[in-house]
Structure 1
Amino acid sequence: MKNSRLVGFTALTASFLLAAGLTACAPPEKESEGNQTESGVNYSEATSAEDFGGMEGLVEAAKKEGELNVIALPPDWANYGAIIKAFSDKYGIKVNSAQPDAASQDEINAANQQKGKSTAPDVFDLGQSVALANTDMFAPYKVATFDDIPAAYKDPDGTWVNDYGGYMSIGYDSAKVPEVTDVNDLLKPEFSGKVALNGDPTQAGAAFSGVLMVALSQGGSVDDIAPGVEFFRKLKAAGNFLPVDPTPATIESGQTPVVIDWNYLNSAETAKLPSWKVFVPPNAVVAGYYYQAINKDAPHPAAARLWEEFLYSDEGQNLYAAGGVRPVRADQMIQAGTIDKDAVAKIPVVDGPVTVPTPEQTEKATKYLAENWAKAVG
């Protein structure tokens, strides 16, 4: 699982929403340096398809490059396996998918370490904290559907745009543990050595949001994550905390029978493991969006821009929905009648308060975790 990415988004309504370094041996310099669009703009500086003379020009330029480098996109995360295949099949562009289980920070590290090389990432899919700390590495670009995306979910210049979101949840194998109806159930003896958190919350988006979810269930708040850390201290002391990063393989083998993770990842397991259930604590609903951006030093800048166009097209957004996540254009597509209704119908809707940390709250909570997490579970 893509387990090391801090995540959040600036606004969300309750009715809505649902390593380091790439391996290469003396890679060549990127080939697209200096290529210009029809309007005379370098590919790497194009801010819309219009700079290429329209979509046909962008497609032609991207096909000329012939490749796209993505990083930290597991095939079972948000339906990225199907998304990558659909993009490659549609445009005949080879997609090089590196380090599927890498962290958001690993994406940034790879871009810095491989800068100027043909192996550098062309695009990023990042959690909030890492994304907002590295906006100087992103190339502003507005996709054709940019105006459909609510202002809360994008930078006004297109430096970054939210792409998909979900809820934090508890997934569990009902054949191995009792029903989970409350976060406090995880402290019971029946859960000894069985509760896994998806990553380290000082680095991982899912884990960060998991601790926040637990904090809310314990009387904490988005401004006070300490009760969440204290809960995990108790979980560790009780022998229930399992320090294993869960993956589909660990879930299906029974190694991690309880997993705190995004609802769309936990829900994906129900098709493979019929006894797997997903619980979103109604008194502690935490939601989050990921951030999409183009590497300003992308070795394939035209392909990077075409990738963004694909992700935010009706086709790309519906592929996200098929992966159990809420695509950012969902409301607009519902109104337009272009949404995949069957896919969206399977995405949970929460009636009630939804907690979404602001960048400032995320920063404060991250600082607290950096100072206290290891002491609690180490």
Structure 2
Amino acid sequence: MNSTRRRFLTGISIAAGAGLTGCSANSDDGGGGAGTDAPGDADGSGGSGGTHEVGYGDYRTTVSASTFPDKLFIYAVQTGWSNWEALMEGFENEYDVSLNDDQRSSGEALSHARQNAQNPNHSAMNGGYTFGVIARNEGLTQPYKPANYDKVPDSLKTDDGHVTATRRMTTAVIYRKDLYEEQDIDPPETWEDLKQEEIAAKTQYQPPQAAVGLAGALSINNAYGGSLDDVQPVIDFYNEVKRKGAVFAGNVEQKFSKGEIQTFVEYDYTGLDLKYNADSVSEDQVGVRFLNGPEGMGALNQPYGYAMLKDAPNPEACKLFMDYVLSKDGQRKFFDAFVRPIRADELETPEKFPSQDRYEGKEFQVDYGKLIDNQESIIKEIGQGVGLTGY
């Protein structure tokens, strides 16, 4: 993970905007269980010992620390992404349970969960929200409503408690301002600008199998008039920039810091965290843009969440961790790295977080139900249409 040199949790509070965050605050900052803010200790012992009240509504229960493992395995909870390292450290400090550093994409996590469905070795599925719903639809998950479940918008949780969103991110283009200036390249204003030879040759895109890559593909597709029924526009775009030298891979930050890649497409979080929190590049070297295209808005707002796996090992520790992620403490840690938490309207917005007007007219959402139904065929069609490996 990027080492943090500054945090911006003081300053102005910015309205989160319709559709981006949870309901208004009505909880306190006391112990855990339904309607409260954080996992609590039923016996008042605190720390890592004793018992803890967890869950919301009918799922409220007491778990015992005596059942907790030394290490909890949850898909795609990983250092270097969404500030999970800070949440992992906070949870371990509070409850003496470490988290496995699971360096998988959402697609890889879903594939592994399928392969191990008869004998699961991870406790929960974390990643892109639609990937979790697909796992639910395939019978891979079980219901659990974490504490503060009521603070999550109804459209971003399943009624049966199987999948709950925890945060949201928006597709952005991140570029090296200093290198653009040295080469006399104008900053990108639209997706069409990324087709320029001098930009395309040093641009990296995530493959669509990862949730962030799928979000980028759908952003470009929408910008060029495509839909969930027609992804030919993004296929054409990708083939054009690929011919000009663009690459499709993950793990871009080191190459970006070295200047090997000058532009990449991920989320606003990635660029803002690099800009304000990373030691590898300075603040004035990093630019973050939200783009439109010739026929539509070009910045998909993508939810992420989690689901407990059916017959999962260590369900009691898993419930406590899921509660922790939705607590104000866990949600603030997302905000620390410019990931917009699902409870953002209850928290002070980081001072450097982009104001809502930077998203207006560019950010859009899709019919997530339809995306779930078509997601795997969309991923396959794009991968095969662009000639990417593994499709």
After TM superposition, the score normalised by the length of structure 2 is 0.74
Aligned-pair distance for 1:51? 8.1
Tell me, yes or no, if the aligned pair for 2:59 and 2:146 is still in contact at 8 Å. Answer: no
Distance 1:63 1:365 in 2: 37
SS at match of 1:196: strand
Counterpart residue number, 2:377: 367
C-alpha separation between the residues in 1 aligned to 2:76 and 2:317? 18
Deviations 1:302-353 (A, max 9, x none): 000000110111111111121212211223x2xxxxx1x1427615522236
Unaligned runs of 5+ in 1: 2-12, 19-37, 39-45, 334-338
Amino acid at match of 1:286: L
| Native 8 Å contact 2:203 2:262 kept in 1 | yes
The residue aligned with 1:28 is none
Partner of 1:104: 106
Instruction: Indicate yes or no: 2:332 matched with 1:322.
Output: no
Shift of 1:259: 0.5
In 2 relative to 1, CA 295–373 (structure 1 residues): closer, same or farther, beyond 3 Å?
Answer: closer
CA distance in 2 between counterparts of 1:47 and 1:155 reads: 19
- Which ranges in structure 2 are unaligned for 5 or more consecutive residues? 2-15, 22-41, 43-52
Q: Secondary structure at the residue paired with 1:108?
A: helix
CA distance in 2, matches of 1:115, 1:188: 46
| Equivalent position of 2:198 in the other structure | 190
Give the drift of 1:105: 3.4
1:249 equivalenced with 2:254 (yes/no): yes
Answer yes or no: is the 8 Å Cα contact 2:335–2:349 preserved in 1: no
Number of equivalences: 325
Contact 2:127 2:306 in 1 (8 A): yes
Instruction: Provide the aligned C-alpha RMSD in A.
Output: 2.9
Residue pairs, 1:57-206, within 5 angstroms: 57-58=62-63, 60-61=64-65, 64-98=68-102, 100=103, 102-114=104-116, 120-135=121-136, 136-177=139-180, 178=185, 179-198=187-206, 200-201=207-208, 203-206=209-212
Residues 129 and 163 in structure 2, CA contact (< 8 A), matched pair in contact too: no
Distance change in 2, residues 1:377/1:84 (3 Å) = same
Query: Does the 8 Å contact 1:67/1:300 carry over to 2?
Result: no
What is the SS of the residue equivalent to 2:170?
A: strand
Q: Is the 8 A contact 1:87 1:310 kept in 2?
A: yes
After superposing the two structures, state which structure 1 stretch, 88-97 or 129-138, moved more: 129-138
Per-residue deviation, residues 66-120 of structure 1 (Å, max 9, x unmatched): 431123223221110000000000111122223x1x1223323434555677x81
Work out which of the residue numbers 43, 48, 53 in structure 1 matches 2:55.
48
Aligned residue in 1 for 2:26: none
Deviation at 1:366, TM superposition (A): 4.6
Deviation at 1:214, TM superposition (A): 1.4
SS at match of 2:142: coil
Residues 364-373 or 125-134, more deviating: 364-373
Contact 2:55/2:146, CA 8 A, preserved across alignment: yes
More deviation in 148-157 or 219-228?
Answer: 219-228
Mapped contact 2:54–2:323 kept (Cα < 8 A)? no
Matched AA of 1:133: I
Equivalent runs, 1:301-316 vs 2, <5 Å: 301-316=315-330
C-alpha contact 1:186 1:240 (8 A) present in aligned 2 = no
Instruction: Give the letter aligned to residue 210 of structure 1.
Output: G
What SS does structure 1 have at the residue aligned with 2:188? coil
Distance 1:214 1:290 in 2: 20
**Structure 1 vs Structure 2: percent identity of aligned residues?**
20
Query: Post-superposition, which runs of at least 4 consecutive aligned residues in structure 1 deviate over 6 A?
Result: 49-53
The whole-number CA distance in structure 2 between the counterparts of 1:221 and 1:174 is 32
TM-score normalised to the size of structure 1? 0.76
**SS of residue in 2 equivalent to 1:259:** strand
Shift of 1:52: 9.3
